[in-house]
Amino acid sequence: MKKFIVVGSGITGSVIARNLADAGFLVSVYEKRNHIGGNMYDYEKDGILIHKYGPHIFHTSKENVYEYMSKFWKLNNFKNIVEGYVDNKLVPIPFNFKSIDICFEEKAEEIKNKLLNLYPNQDTVTILELRKNNDPLIKKVAEFVYKNLFLNYTTKMWNLKPDEIDDSVTARIPVVLSYRNTYFKDKYEGLPEEGYTKTFEKILDHKNIEVKLNTDVTKLIKFKNNKIFIDDENETLIYTGPLDKLFNDKFGSLDYRSLHFEFDTLSQEHFQKTAVVNYPADPKMTRITEYKNMTFQSDKTKTIISKEFPGTYNEKSDKWNEPYYPLATEQARTKYQQYFNYAKQFDNLFICGRMGLYRYINMDQAIDEALTKSKEILEYARKK
């Protein structure tokens, strides 16, 4: 039987490993951490299920993704409703008609009518679009949202000025042209009833899959004659980790933003009304998550929250030693491209996933791409 090495047990690596195993191939999954599941890993603390690496909410309109994952989980149908403090007022985020009612009380009706007339047949409009509008009142709203929601939050999140960040980041910030208060608008949304870790256990539970935790595969790799050897064996490698670490920082370290979480167990039933509350004006903290509000656990005596703080990734840092988000700058992408081009010479290497491809993508995108990549790898294997 042919054998594959999958590096990383996050959603991309696990889905690919399972598909290869289902097709009759042997798969060894190498995981540097002491647990499976990547950043989706969850565990119980004081009897409450929490996410170690911050809140993860599945949402998709992709039928193939929903159907595939339904083999391993049942969603609890949680809907993410986010609020944030703006001018010391708690308002819906993304900014919607309710937000306008709260922040522009006297002009609210005029603003809403203008927005509907200016952007007919649209359910959202981006901050970029609004700032280009010449109407003084709409421009005032755009600048208010830009300053209070985007500018502070983005500068804190990325440690960059807005004009230093790729427009794709700015374009993700919408104003909702209705009273819809859900953060996502996909057909399916929720968290697995049994948790993410249990889901990954099911995905990787296959006679053809072995999982090796606490194993840094980069220490076992050798490069020779356009091939990658692991423990002196020339196996096909599916790599979902950071490319700079695969090639021992050959072109320098890739740039990431990281996150630090402070968890608190509180002796009260609830801390906040929604699962996530943003703090755009706070100089350091971005948001607070209350996990019971996502998992629907019913403990009336306590709750657990996490406070989230962004920082510059440094593997030697006590707080920001996990790479979360590729830096959205041209310089950062150029450095990554050096690694990607260098990797092309190794014909038994497949680079996959959010980390491997140096892109920030949603969970359903990662699953969809893993399903597509699985087919590509299987075609490759059958031709060998």
Asked whether the beta carbons of 183 and 99 are under 8 A apart, the reply is: no
At 59 the pLDDT is 98
Q: Is residue 89 part of a domain?
A: yes
Residues 232, 336: one domain?
yes
End position of a domain, from candidates 176, 207, 222: 176
Judging by DSSP bridges, how do beta strands 42-45 and 48-51 pair with one another?
Answer: antiparallel
Residues 279, 227: one domain?
no
Report the helix count and the strand count for the chain, using DSSP H and E. 14, 20
CA-to-CA dists, residue 298 to 155, 198, 247, angstroms? 37, 20, 47
Q: What are the structure tokens assigned to 227, written together? A: 């091939």
Q: Is residue 243 part of a domain?
A: yes
CA angle 259, 170, 356 (to 5 degrees): 50
Residues 218, 245: one domain?
yes
At 128 the pLDDT is 83
CA atoms within 13 A on the CB side of 189: 12
Residues 331, 242: one domain?
yes
At 118 the pLDDT is 96
Residues 261, 298: one domain?
yes
Q: Is residue 318 part of a domain?
A: no
Residues 246, 376: one domain?
yes
- Total domains in the chain come to 3
Q: What is the largest CA-CA distance in the chain?
A: 72
Residues 21, 141: one domain?
no
Q: Is residue 196 part of a domain?
A: yes
Residues 298, 203: one domain?
no
One-letter amino acid of 281: A
Q: Is residue 183 part of a domain?
A: no
Q: Which domain holds residue 289?
A: 256-312
Q: Is residue 185 part of a domain?
A: no
What CA–CA distance (Å, rounded) separates 228 from 347? 8
At 169 the pLDDT is 65
Residues 341, 353: one domain?
yes
At 1 the pLDDT is 61
Residues 290, 341: one domain?
no
The region, left, alpha or beta by phi > 0 then psi within -120 to 50, assigned to residue 235 is beta
Q: Is residue 184 part of a domain?
A: no
At 328 the pLDDT is 80
Residues 9, 55: one domain?
yes
Where do we find the tokens 């706070």?
A: 282
What CA–CA distance (Å, rounded) separates 75 from 87? 36
Q: Is residue 321 part of a domain?
A: no
End position of a domain, from candidates 143, 176, 209: 176
Q: Quote the DSSP letter at residue 150.
A: I
What CA–CA distance (Å, rounded) separates 250 from 244? 7
Kindly report the three-state secondary structure assignment for every residue of 200-232: HHHHCCCCCEEEECCCCHHHCEEEECCEEEECC
Q: How far is CA 356 from the centre of its chain?
A: 14
CATH number for the domain including 25? 3.40.50.720
Residues 245, 166: one domain?
no
Identify the three-state secondary structure at position 118.
Answer: helix
End position of a domain, from candidates 148, 176, 204: 176
pLDDT in tens, the chain (384 residues): 689 999 999 999 999 999 999 999 999 999 999 999 999 999 999 999 999 999 999 999 999 999 999 999 999 999 999 999 998 899 999 999 999 999 999 999 999 999 999 999 999 999 888 989 999 999 999 999 988 988 888 889 988 877 777 666 666 678 999 999 999 999 999 999 999 999 999 999 999 999 999 999 999 999 988 889 988 788 899 999 999 999 999 999 999 999 999 999 999 999 999 999 999 999 999 999 999 999 999 899 999 999 999 999 999 999 999 999 999 888 999 999 999 999 999 989 999 999 999 998 999 999 999 999 999 999 998 887
